[in-house]
Structure 1
Amino acid sequence: MEMRLLALALAAATCTTTSYAEETNRDIEQVIVTGSRFVESIDEVPVSVTVVDRDTIQQQLQVSSELQNLLAIHVPGLAAANGSTSNFGTTLRGRSPLVMIDGVPQSTPLRNGALGMRTLDPDVIERIEVIKGATSIYGNGAAGGIINYITKSAADSEFAAQASVSSRFSAAKFEDSAGLRTQGSVSGTRDKFSFVVSASRDERGVERDAEGDVMGTIYGLSESVTENYFTKLGYRLDDEKSLQLTYNYYEGRQNADLVDVLGSVNEGTKTYALPLSDGDTKLGDAQGPRGNHNLAIKYVDDHLTDNTQMTIDAYGQKIENVFFFSTALSNPEEGYDGGQSMIKSGKKGLRFNFNTQLSWEWVDGTLTYGLDALNDVTSQPLLDGRIWVPEMDMDSLAGYLQTKWILDNDWIFKAGVRRENIDLVVDDYRTLKLCANADTCSVPMDVKGDTLSYEATTYNLALRYHINDHFSPFANYSQGADISDLGGLLRSATVNDIALIQTEASIIDNYEIGFDTHFDNFDFSIAAYKSTSELGTASFYNPKTGVYEPVRAPHKMWGYEFALKYRISESLNVGANYSWVEGKNEKTDEYLDARIISPPKFVAHLDWRPVDNANLALTYYRVGERKRFEPDENGNWGGSFAPVSAYDVVNLSANYRRDNWNFFAGVENLLNEEYFSARAQAFTYSGGAYHTMGLGTTINTGVNYSF
């Protein structure tokens, strides 16, 4: 499809930041690149941002290698972790975030399969930058903000290497639970050439809950194998120009010889798994990413002119994410007793970004401007050949201009605009006939395809004022344009022409105020926000067809969050964060369900260094209750409207360093708390398959060697 040229924008998209970074040294300047597309001090960003640094990632790895767990603990505003490979229901301030690796999108917003958070090994990540609130800085899919994994850079020395091996097992019941994780990397810089190469493999045993039972397999981790291979090569052409190539391969398959015993939210029974009986075979193929490929090439000219830097990015991506086998995808008339779907997505992108520095007597200015071109082809076929979501071929071209003005070193003003044109082609297709049971089937429909065109102009304004070295308030307004999960609309079509489906883009308006305080030993940040959109992304269950159908109603979310850190001494630090969000359908004045709104979340942590070469960390994680809905006339809950009761989890980790060796151990759910995650409590989907008890006490221990 031919792309149409966009007009370049006139003023700039901004990103403000309240930072909850786990820095151990306040003298190290904190910088961020995600929100503005250039390196800037986090103290100059007037939007809520969380930066998770390398030390925090390494500490979390001692407990678990799951990125969703790490993000849920360290990012206020992100929904509670659900203990699975899926981030379904894991929203950021009530809306879906766009997940990226070094700026390359990992999410599949055209058919949001909620698997983007688990796309690379955390050992490859240098830091994670999370921009909160609707933003159009990187285009479609960022209704809730951006989660950007920044990968490691090469070591300054000619050669450096490290290797680690660890084992993870259940303390609730050891049998068949032991796994093995291996990881190694080399990096270095010599003359004009630099390199980073990393490989990891994580083989898991069965995952057990606090009662010692094997957890359910839907999006599960039991008997799964995850592999990640990462390469970053750099070459400096001269003092001003450089070239970089990055490739990442990620695969994570679960092919467990287990069968689920389904529980029920309404009956109060949990879902768990048992070994297959002799002679039985597991239905379907292994679930998880078959092999996700990311390739990116970056060219940087630091001095295109005296005051302008140019960056050119080209990237490609191929994703195949396989879901679990489901009897809800059955069609007895055609001989199907169930089915297994897969999201196939391919992206090709090209970005031109320019950064121009301006300076007057008491004003410093930065202009960031450029063009983004993206082709995204996404579909959701079934492995048996049926097509559930037809191929969607999207071409997007956007122009943007972002401005930043620092007045008298104290006032920071940002303003911006982005103009986006999207053409999306869908050929004629037929919706599937799917049967939840013999009496509940959807009605197939022939739908005429078309080319859908979208145009959107979004604006951003933000202001931060450094009153003094200790206090800095900010306020911002930002917009985002979103056509995410169009595939969900297409597969549940009830009309015969795509033009009659309500596929309009959603424009999100985000408002935020807050402040940061910084003292020698104490940091505190707080932000309050409101987010509105005329078209939401809720759905309801149609009992006549057994299909969840979209509801494009106006939505409003609001909430607040805070983070603090206090250094008691050189060897002892404590910190905490809290987030609360709520949302309503403004048309009906009804609260939004758990797919969108998560319960309150509180995290407290303690870091203690008893001696110079040892460290101990304790984390307390509490998810509060949310009970906004009433059961039906039979006393049962449906959809994702069941109540959530509070629960608590405590994690512990420790490490000891000697010469080049680092010995570590971590315990997840130290007190063996018997609990159901917020998603497990609220969701009644898939016959109760989500109602799995949380992970019981699990120990992870290993060693790392660097040279």
Structure 2
Amino acid sequence: MNFSVNRIATAVIVATLSFNSYAQSTENEGLERITVTGSRIVENFDEVPASITVIDQATIQENLHVSSELQAILSFVVPGMSPNTGSTSNFGQTLRGRNMLIMIDGVPQDTPLRNGSLGVRTLDPAAIERIEVLNGATSVWGNGAAGGVINYITKQPKPGDAEVSFTQSVNTSLVKTQDSLGYRSVLSASGKSDALGYVVKVSQENYGVQRDAEGDILGLQYGLSDSKQRDAFLKLSYDLNPEQAFQFTYNYYDSDQNANYRDVPGNIDLGEKTYAEPLPEGEIKLGAPQGPEGNYNLMLKYSDVELFSNTAWTVDIYKQKIDNVFFWSPSLSNPDEGYSGGQSAILSEKAGLRSVFTSRFDLAGIPTTFIYGVDLLEDVTSQPLLDGRIWVPEMDMQSSALFLQTKWDLGYDWTVKAGVRREDINVAVDDYTTLKLCRDAQTCSTEMAVSGGEMDYAANTFNVGLRYRADNGVSPYISYSEGYEIPDLGLLLRTATVSDLSLIEGEASIVKNYEIGLSSEYDDLYYSLALFRSTSELGTGSKFDPATGIYRPVRAPQKIWGFEATVDYRLNDAWRINAAYGYTEGKDTANDIYLGARQISAPKLSTALRYQGTENLNVSLYWLHVFNRDRFEPNAEGFYTGDQGPIRSYNLLNMSADYTWHNWNFFAGVENLLNNDYFPARSQALRYGSGYSVKGKGMTANLGFRYSF
């Protein structure tokens, strides 16, 4: 059994040096200078020698007027995150070139034992109060945070009478409206009376077909055309007294695509897109609907602000179930057994506990904070095929970790932070046989009987940082932090070529992150800069093998480096401009070759221009420019392989507007306002099959209202 402690304190908020200006709204400005994800306690951002991006409620709402896809919001706002993939999968979307740990209130949503790259899309954004992004490898949260952490902080009960609201919107392609009409409905209520507080939200979104700038239906692999998303969220809080409180949270999420279309394969090397067309009369769609089939999170938290002298305690117990169904694939064929294709699902069940103690003392006149505790986790994950074949056998992981973080306030100007985490992981696997799978009559894998056993991992990871606060508002910092990540064992097991589990090369990777940066605030101007470099003796990504059609973990040593900058300037009372730039590059240092787009995408620049002419009217323009990246040579035929395709620059412009009148809020948004005809960065770079050769959405409109009771 596993448990997990997450000090997602009631206000749960974030910030840090690389604090992204998109997260600053006038009414929340005080809150946004607070962070939880960076250190597992509530503290001001200028005490954290690290880079954290905050996406506040106002920014979330502005983007929701355009699209409810969290991937799109994150790619616009977080400078170190790869551009949006334009699909339900975040495969090929990394944070600073490495895998990120995605959490809801500190509970991990990923399936690291068999990473399906679906963690970003795990709940409806209407349940989110703010998003905290810790950029760069961290030892604070443990396994999986090689590139950083994305923490969705859910809404909290607010004191006062019940607040009830209903939101209804419709959206459609403006290029070709036929069959593209969709709708979204959200009903929510919250309030707090005396000791009892509550937040309740239910939502449903039905998508019509999604069309590109030429009016064609986007390809279906990881697509959203003719899909339905449902989410139910409940949070109850009860204050035993001013110092002690309980909190219960439950979230249910499912999303499935059941489109009566088929893909017409394209070839990105020839500039040909993959698009969908209606099924011919009499043809039956293969496979079950793809998407999460009823995933849920259940969390119980107890907090005591004064457990004993100068010490607070927070404990979280959680349980989670994940059932992610993937698309039907002819590559999962086995003609010998009568299978002409197949469909897989990642099944994962987690149970965990996180217990955190926070003690504050005055040692020799130095204010000192100790943050310490234990994280426990059990994760049972497998990847069967829906027809009963076992592709990845059940992996039973038991994980325990002890951690200590310290903070030393050296006068008014200096803060020193240092910490250590001890992680012990055991993964048990029974005997199994790899599947024989055939891409075609000539290309088949070989069955291999593998003796099971146990795989043990252990690591000590460290972090240390220093931050200085000058009187002129400039605040530089320097930090070093280590992240820990076991490889995608599911990939290793299902492609095993050895007869014993102990012979599989499944070593874990320690990522070392070095960073230097600064932030400054002067009158109406705020900006931040960050330079980073991360190294690992073993790779943390995966690579496609075109000879066999399978993915294999990358084991070569890697070096990744980059630069991030943000700026926020209030022109006057009505106008405000934000900008964020992110550049990431990386190499396989053993062979001195650049890393492909599976990890490293093109640089990007995002800008937001906001107008608030009256108390009731808000208008925003979001512009994204993705730059070129061309690091590899084509083969003799002029084609690229794997994730080495060149990325050509493109632009996206979105518009959001809303107007409040009494209890009504009317809003409108347009995605891809200029109807740019483009392939997203991932589609340009990946050569893993025609399913990725899908263009981005054309001009799409969203129109709706919210009524508050």
> What letter corresponds to residue 138 of structure 1 in structure 2?
W
Is the 2:546–2:642 Cα contact (8 Å) retained in structure 1?
A: no
Q: Secondary structure at the match of 1:184?
A: strand
Distance across 2 between alignment mates of 1:595 and 1:308: 44
Report the equivalent of 2:703: 701
Distance across 1 between alignment mates of 2:527 and 2:90: 29
The residue correspondences of 1:632-643 to structure 2 (distance < 5 A) are 632-643=635-646
Is the 1:15–1:36 Cα contact (8 Å) retained in structure 2?
A: no
Report the equivalent of 2:6: none
Distance across 2 between alignment mates of 1:69 and 1:16: 22
Is the 1:435–1:546 Cα contact (8 Å) retained in structure 2?
A: no
The residue correspondences of 1:148-163 to structure 2 (distance < 5 A) are 148-163=151-166
Q: Secondary structure at the match of 2:502?
A: helix
Q: After alignment, is 530-539 or 138-147 more displaced?
A: 530-539
Is the 2:562–2:585 Cα contact (8 Å) retained in structure 1?
A: yes
Is the 2:174–2:699 Cα contact (8 Å) retained in structure 1?
A: yes
Q: Quote how far apart the aligned CAs of 1:469 are.
A: 4.4
Is the 1:442–1:546 Cα contact (8 Å) retained in structure 2?
A: no
- CA distance change for structure 1 residues 83 and 357 in 2, over 3 Å: closer, same or farther? same
Report the equivalent of 2:608: 605
Distance across 1 between alignment mates of 2:221 and 2:548: 23
Q: In the alignment, which of 577, 593, 598 is matched to residue 595 of structure 1?
A: 598
Report the equivalent of 2:344: 341
1:20 to 2:20 alignment: yes
The residue correspondences of 1:237-252 to structure 2 (distance < 5 A) are 237-252=240-255
Distance across 1 between alignment mates of 2:375 and 2:543: 35
Distance across 2 between alignment mates of 1:365 and 1:243: 28
Q: Quote how far apart the aligned CAs of 1:92 are.
A: 0.2
Q: Secondary structure at the match of 2:89?
A: coil
Is the 1:441–1:546 Cα contact (8 Å) retained in structure 2?
A: no
- CA distance change for structure 1 residues 612 and 660 in 2, over 3 Å: closer, same or farther? same
Report the equivalent of 2:552: 549
The residue correspondences of 1:418-497 to structure 2 (distance < 5 A) are 418-497=421-500
Distance across 2 between alignment mates of 1:133 and 1:2: 26
Report the equivalent of 1:692: 694
Q: Quote how far apart the aligned CAs of 1:32 are.
A: 1.3
> What letter corresponds to residue 17 of structure 2 in structure 1?
T
Distance across 2 between alignment mates of 1:546 and 1:615: 50
1:642-700 Cα distance to aligned partner (Å, 9 max, x none): 111000000011111001110000000000000000001111213x1111111000000
Q: Secondary structure at the match of 2:400?
A: strand
Is the 1:187–1:197 Cα contact (8 Å) retained in structure 2?
A: yes
Is the 2:16–2:35 Cα contact (8 Å) retained in structure 1?
A: no
Q: Secondary structure at the match of 1:487?
A: helix
Is the 1:125–1:149 Cα contact (8 Å) retained in structure 2?
A: yes
Q: Secondary structure at the match of 2:695?
A: coil
Report the equivalent of 1:280: 283
Displaced runs of 4 or more, over 6 A: none
Is the 2:318–2:351 Cα contact (8 Å) retained in structure 1?
A: yes
Q: Secondary structure at the match of 1:675?
A: coil
Is the 2:15–2:44 Cα contact (8 Å) retained in structure 1?
A: no
- CA distance change for structure 1 residues 311 and 498 in 2, over 3 Å: closer, same or farther? same
Distance across 2 between alignment mates of 1:82 and 1:111: 20
- CA distance change for structure 1 residues 157 and 361 in 2, over 3 Å: closer, same or farther? farther
Report the equivalent of 1:11: none
Distance across 1 between alignment mates of 2:301 and 2:550: 44
Q: In the alignment, which of 498, 504, 507 is matched to residue 504 of structure 1?
A: 507
> What letter corresponds to residue 545 of structure 1 in structure 2?
T
> What letter corresponds to residue 20 of structure 2 in structure 1?
Y
Q: Quote how far apart the aligned CAs of 1:15 are.
A: 10
Is the 1:134–1:509 Cα contact (8 Å) retained in structure 2?
A: yes
Q: Quote how far apart the aligned CAs of 1:191 are.
A: 1.2
Is the 1:440–1:543 Cα contact (8 Å) retained in structure 2?
A: no
Q: Quote how far apart the aligned CAs of 1:480 are.
A: 1.1
Q: Quote how far apart the aligned CAs of 1:267 are.
A: 2.1
Q: Quote how far apart the aligned CAs of 1:244 are.
A: 0.5
1:625 to 2:628 alignment: yes
Is the 2:98–2:541 Cα contact (8 Å) retained in structure 1?
A: no
Report the equivalent of 2:54: 51
Is the 2:488–2:553 Cα contact (8 Å) retained in structure 1?
A: no
1:104-151 Cα distance to aligned partner (Å, 9 max, x none): 100111111000000001111000000011112222111111000000
Report the equivalent of 1:229: 232
Report the equivalent of 1:6: none
1:365-412 Cα distance to aligned partner (Å, 9 max, x none): 111000110001111111011111111100011000000111111101
Distance across 1 between alignment mates of 2:229 and 2:530: 37
- CA distance change for structure 1 residues 466 and 352 in 2, over 3 Å: closer, same or farther? same
Distance across 2 between alignment mates of 1:603 and 1:276: 39
Distance across 2 between alignment mates of 1:331 and 1:631: 32
Report the equivalent of 1:175: 178
Is the 1:330–1:337 Cα contact (8 Å) retained in structure 2?
A: yes
Q: Secondary structure at the match of 2:457?
A: strand
Q: Secondary structure at the match of 2:464?
A: strand
Q: After alignment, is 632-641 or 103-112 more displaced?
A: 632-641
The alignment of Structure 1 onto Structure 2 pairs a total of residues equal to: 696
Distance across 2 between alignment mates of 1:513 and 1:548: 35
* Aligned-CA RMSD value: 1.5
Is the 1:16–1:462 Cα contact (8 Å) retained in structure 2?
A: no
Distance across 2 between alignment mates of 1:323 and 1:108: 14
Q: In the alignment, which of 400, 403, 406 is matched to residue 403 of structure 2?
A: 400
1:148-180 Cα distance to aligned partner (Å, 9 max, x none): 000001121121111100001000101110101
Q: Structure 2 unaligned segments of length 5 or more: list them.
A: 4-13
Report the equivalent of 1:9: none
Q: Quote how far apart the aligned CAs of 1:433 are.
A: 1.0
Is the 1:352–1:372 Cα contact (8 Å) retained in structure 2?
A: yes
TM-score normalised by L of structure 2: 0.96
Q: Quote how far apart the aligned CAs of 1:539 are.
A: 4.1
Distance across 2 between alignment mates of 1:362 and 1:665: 56
- CA distance change for structure 1 residues 448 and 275 in 2, over 3 Å: closer, same or farther? same
Distance across 1 between alignment mates of 2:530 and 2:489: 32
> What letter corresponds to residue 416 of structure 1 in structure 2?
G
- CA distance change for structure 1 residues 508 and 15 in 2, over 3 Å: closer, same or farther? farther
Distance across 2 between alignment mates of 1:510 and 1:651: 34
Report the equivalent of 2:7: none
- CA distance change for structure 1 residues 2 and 530 in 2, over 3 Å: closer, same or farther? closer
Q: After alignment, is 674-683 or 627-636 more displaced?
A: 627-636
Report the equivalent of 1:295: 298
Distance across 1 between alignment mates of 2:203 and 2:658: 21
Distance across 1 between alignment mates of 2:30 and 2:184: 32
Distance across 1 between alignment mates of 2:299 and 2:232: 14
1:373 to 2:365 alignment: no
Report the equivalent of 1:8: none
Distance across 1 between alignment mates of 2:316 and 2:273: 48
Distance across 1 between alignment mates of 2:2 and 2:386: 31
- CA distance change for structure 1 residues 630 and 278 in 2, over 3 Å: closer, same or farther? same
Q: In the alignment, which of 653, 665, 672 is matched to residue 669 of structure 1?
A: 672
1:71 to 2:92 alignment: no
- CA distance change for structure 1 residues 2 and 702 in 2, over 3 Å: closer, same or farther? closer
- CA distance change for structure 1 residues 18 and 334 in 2, over 3 Å: closer, same or farther? same
Report the equivalent of 2:11: none
> What letter corresponds to residue 24 of structure 2 in structure 1?
E
Is the 1:365–1:404 Cα contact (8 Å) retained in structure 2?
A: yes
Report the equivalent of 2:9: none
TM-score normalised by L of structure 1: 0.97
1:679 to 2:685 alignment: no
1:105 to 2:108 alignment: yes
Q: After alignment, is 360-369 or 602-611 more displaced?
A: 360-369
Is the 1:415–1:459 Cα contact (8 Å) retained in structure 2?
A: yes
Distance across 2 between alignment mates of 1:595 and 1:99: 18
Report the equivalent of 1:533: 536
Q: Quote how far apart the aligned CAs of 1:538 are.
A: 4.3
> What letter corresponds to residue 389 of structure 1 in structure 2?
V
1:229-259 Cα distance to aligned partner (Å, 9 max, x none): 0000011111211000000000010111110
What is the percent sequence identity of the aligned residues?
Answer: 52
